[in-house]
Chains A and B, each alone.
Chain A
Amino acid sequence: MSNNNDKPLLRVQGLKKYFPVGGGFLRQARSFIHAVDDLEFDIPMGGSLGLVGESGCGKTTTGKLLVRLHEPTDGQIFIQNEQGELEDIAHRKGESMKTFRRRVQMIFQDPYESLNPRRTIYDTVAEPLVVQGIGTIVEREERVAALLERVGLTPATSFMFRFPHELSGGQRQRVAIARALIIDPVFIAADEPTSMLDVSIRTGVMNLMMELAGEMGVSYLYITHDLAVARYMCERIAVMYLGKMVERASTEELLANPLHPYTRALISAVPVPDPRISRQAIDIKGGVSAPIDPPPICRFFARCPLGDDFCENNPHPPMEDKGGGHYVACYKV
């Protein structure tokens, strides 16, 4: 791995993804969902970033862009290659895409849909090795067995040839983690990997992910709608609202000192698992919709308690550093 620690592992610039609405074959779409609009962030080597926000704000789309399941509408995604240089993979195709595929992986939300029901656990975990042509059959088997044991599926031999339906949700998610780690990636996008698991199982999977990422030096983007989970999983947190990033800071800073009015409302609404702590909810009006052809002003304006004429007549505010790497996109803070 590279020793180039001053460079970020991953750098995103002006990342955009617009989905056409209502168009069809041979028919131009007239509107676009601005699912991800002009994102900018870095993830350092071995670091972790939490991406939080409400349903439909573009978290999954961002994750899929980073692993290139989607091709960006615009913008750059730089990732360090084996030589430690930043390479733009935003529009990469073909063979060079395949080598990139060894460096990034993804873990999905639904453990019941992310494993092929007709393939054994071994088939699933070994798949990246097989399609990349890494190792002999014996070597693959050994590697898979060792990793299965590492993710807590012991003894590996009793799990390797089971089918997904014979596993519980937590075990499946461990399999998904093993599949993501089998080719030693440098970056993993984890899309709500624990949101469908029960509490008593969830912590095990969360701890495992953190341990393994630390051990193997993997950086990750942790997508979640749950701020409390992000607090435990990530060094830094970024908050998204309707395709835009509105605030980004180190985890404790963001939770203790949220600046953006949306982040404040979001944090104030999180229920606290302790009846002795009372919280004061900050109310914001309205609800989220889809960002279909949004006006060029601040995305949050319609619901913002601070918004005024200036916000209404200026473009979406840029992300600004308010000190110590605490970035906010708001004219009023």
Chain B
Amino acid sequence: MAEATPILSVQDLVMHYTTRKGDVSAVDGVSFDLENGKSLGLVGESGCGKTSIAFSLMKLLPDNAKIKGGSIYVGGTDILQLSHDELLKFRWQRIAMVFQAAMNALNPVYTVGDQIIEALDLHWGDLSREQSRERIGQLFEMVGLDPKLMDRYPHEFSGGMRQRAVIAMALSCNPDIIIADEPTTALDVIVQDRILRELKKIQEKLGMSMIYISHDIAVIAEVSDRIGVMYAGRMAELADGVDIFEHPLHPYTYALMRAFPSIKGEKHELVTLPGEPPDLLFPPPGCRFHPRCPRATDVCKQEQPPFADNGRGHFVACWHPMEANHE
């Protein structure tokens, strides 16, 4: 790995939601780095805290959420220490986000173009209308939309077109980092494929860094340089894409990959994990995976395994990792 300072560095992030039943431990001690121009994929099942991490990075938290600890460095500044005004400037210009189910979030009563102009105005201030429209035209072309469509209303767009428009919006302020939370989940495979390829192209062209979030290990495998596997609010394993597929160290990663059907290659038996992910109101002690883990021992039940580098930047949080046969 190159020794450049990462554009994003998250250390021991802890985030809770307060609810009437108690605290939901949605993110618990998550650490990762994102290098400039690279992409990181966060994969994990529903409710494991992927979106919560994204919201923390944007510092766009719901009222009942609280960051309890850790630090988030973006290009050297800890954004958790920024004032409200500083944050406003920082958000969208340094780090932007495509929200989960964002395509349903477009306001039906304004044209798509106007909604992007609004976002532009917020950050560039004094652009004339012509300048704004020109910029939107460029953005539209970048995401593969006909610029003529900017005066249409969201309902006239198909799901895939809306998703592109939302991506254009995220691009509008030239951010260094884009977080794409389930960018293609509601879309059909053909459209998904096209949008993922376009995102990759844009990333290369603009030299941006990306964080992809998905529950679909196949999507993550295709677009990410590095992959983080999350389980129940914690990062179970973090490594380079190929590495994690060739030598999964965490029993959960291992099971996840063998639970995922593929249309290519041998048709192997699909493994099933017993049980279900824990309720994060009452996460199990020790390793959060231990109730479902075939390798669990007493130490797993009592002590949280450290998130440690097993060499070559392959991090894993497990007391009994699978055999690593790194040559």
Contacts and interface: CB of A to CB of B under 8 A. Distances in A.
Interface of A: 54-55, 168, 170, 198-204, 206-207, 225-229, 231-232, 255, 265-277, 279, 281, 283-284, 287-289
A287 B222 contact: no
Given A270-B189, A272-B222, A279 B194 contact: no
B20 interface: no
Interface in B218-267: 218-219, 221-222, 241-242, 245-246, 255-257, 259-265, 267
B259 A275 contact: no
Contacts of A277: 264-265
B270 A203 contact: yes
Interface string B272-291: 11001100000000000000
A169 B46 CA distance: 11
Nearest to B194: A283
Nearest to B261: A228
A281 B193 contact: yes
Contacts of B189: 54, 225, 227, 266, 269-271
Q: Contact residue range for chain B?
A: 35 or more
B217 interface: yes
B216 interface: yes
- Shortest Cβ-Cβ A-B pairs, 8 listed: A269-B193, A271-B218, A273-B218, A198-B45, A228-B261, A54-B188, A204-B272, A275-B241
A54 B190 contact: yes
Contacts of B46: 198
A201 B292 CA distance: 12
B222 A200 contact: no
Nearest to A284: B190
A271 B184 CA distance: 12
Given A198-B45, A287-B158, A281 B191 contact: no
A232 B191 contact: no
Nearest to A233: B261
19 contacts: A198-B215, A199-B217, A199-B259, A200-B256, A200-B273, A200-B276, A227-B263, A228-B260, A229-B261, A231-B263, A232-B267, A232-B270, A265-B190, A266-B190, A271-B189, A273-B218, A275-B245, A281-B197, A287-B191
A199 B214 CA distance: 12
Contacts of B183: none
A54 B190 CA distance: 9
Contacts of B255: 200
B215 A272 contact: no
A204 B270 CA distance: 9
B159 to A, nearest CB: 8
Interface string B173-208: 000000000000000111111101100000000000
Interface string B58-96: 000000000000000000000000000000000000000
